[in-house]
Amino acid sequence: MSGSGPASAATGASSSNNASSKTSAMAKASQHLDLDGHDLPPSPAPSSPRSGRRYALATELVFTEGSDQYNASSVPIYQSATFKQTSATAGVSNEYDYTRSGNPTRTHLERHLAKIMRAQRALVVSSGMGALDVITRLLRPGDEVVTGDDLYGGTNRLLKYLSTHGGIIVHHVDTTDPSKVKAVLTPKTAMVLLETPTNPLIKIVDIPTIATLAHNANPTCLVSVDNTMLSPLLQNPLDLGADIVYESGTKYLSGHHDLMAGVLAINDPKLGEKLFFTINASGCGLSPFDSWLLMRGVKTLKVRMDTQQANAMFIARFLESTGFKVRYPGLKSHPQYELHNSMARGAGAVLSFETGDVALSERIVESAKLWAISVSFGCVNSLISMPCRMSHASIDEKTRRERGVPEDLIRLCVGIEDGDDLLDDLKSSRPGRRHERVARRHPRRESNTGYPASAPGGTSSRQSGSDE
């Protein structure tokens, strides 16, 4: 008698005293039935048709392939810390065993990002700073790092920590001037860390020239580029000579400020293995749910960024026309307009401007209604901030002065709202508006007054719209 399922196998067992035939019947049965799902495809991972046709980036962003057993069009969230193995003795018999080391949802995202970032491999971790932490663990005491003087505050803080506690020598120079970078490069330079456009001064760094200088000084020097400000839609540092590109996925890649993530991309497989080792060893790989969220966000990167850039250009032009000093690489007045456009496919959606008066800047920021006062950028809604009071407050005032960060600087991170509404909000804002709203909710707090006529909200520049 032959069993074709658990029930008939059990019947067969009761009618036979032969233990081995019972075992073989069970084995045969389990070949046909997969009640526990062990025979299902291991993961929906293949999102990267590397050998297939490459499409335009707008298409690649949304086009994914998977081997999910149900052909789910959205990658499933494998919210599981562990994966059962088929054998206790064969080592890891499945593709996955423990989510710190690998998870199908994360793999799917990594392959998708590798495709978009034009990389051999991409890795995702729990934040942008987590990505930089993984990169800097390649350094050894005595190694030298050359980096900019207008860095994201968190990057500055991590490098300061490494120079204080890790024996790393960090040179901060104006990376917008390759000759200043060249002056500090030596065979001991293990890493050059670049950010372009810089934030908040929106200075442009010549990646190809500096990468060549760095590799000439030390062929094993790793040129790492923080591409957060532009995203892979607008710039691909690996194509410009970088060895590692990293991004805060918290920003444009996700686009909704509803997750924290960091992305690393490389072309050298050995380097990829080293970075993966640290991610696995330290346990900072992105969670399955955040991987899924980031995957969802990435698909709309182009539509978001297109609108954000168009709005940014509109607002930059207006601010420039009022006489403010505006820093935006989309404006021909930007001193490095040509350089930026030789590397990038767009100017991004972050700009900054100076009012010439710290108190005025504070009032402009505090008066805006549509523009949320918030650190960060890359979100669908518009944000306004004063870097010296917020994102760069961790850099002391003296260092900020030395690095030429004006205390009155306002940074705008432009979203996808209607451009006229955004401009109207800046123009029609008046001193104390946010304070008044707060005062209505918290009567004991006072409101502010006084606003020069030459600035947004002043009588000369105000064109339309109501205050509230």
Ligand X SMILES: Cc1ncc(COP(=O)(O)O)c(C=O)c1O
**What's the Cα-to-Cα distance from 93 to each of 79, 90, 97, rounded to whole Å?**
20, 6, 8
Element (H, E) at 23: helix 19-32
Q: Which residues bind ligand X (CB under 6 A)?
A: 127-129, 152, 154, 195, 199, 226, 228-229, 248, 250, 260, 262, 376
SS3 content of the chain, % helix, strand, coil (to 5): 40, 10, 50
* Least CB distance to ligand X at residue 457 (A): 28
Residue number, nearest CB to ligand X: 128
Q: Which residue has the tokens 């064969």?
A: 90
* Least CB distance to ligand X at residue 196 (A): 10
CB closer to ligand X, 129 vs 210: 129
CB closer to ligand X, 189 vs 196: 196
Burial readout 380-389 (b: 16 or more C-beta within 10 A, e: otherwise): ebbbbbbbbe
CB closer to ligand X, 154 vs 465: 154
CA distance 300 to 440: 38
Amino acid identity at 69: Q
Return the half-sphere exposure (C-beta side, CA atoms, 13 A cut-off) of residue 195.
Answer: 25
* Least CB distance to ligand X at residue 311 (A): 19
Peptide bond just before 197 cis, omega within 30 deg: yes
Q: Is 303 exposed, middle or buried (0-12, 13-18, 19+ CB in 10 A)?
A: middle
CB closer to ligand X, 9 vs 210: 210
Q: Which of 282, 285, 344 is nearest to 309 (CA)?
A: 344
Peptide bond just before 42 cis, omega within 30 deg: no
Q: Which residues are catalytic?
A: 100, 152, 226, 251
* Least CB distance to ligand X at residue 252 (A): 11
CB closer to ligand X, 150 vs 243: 150
* Least CB distance to ligand X at residue 163 (A): 18
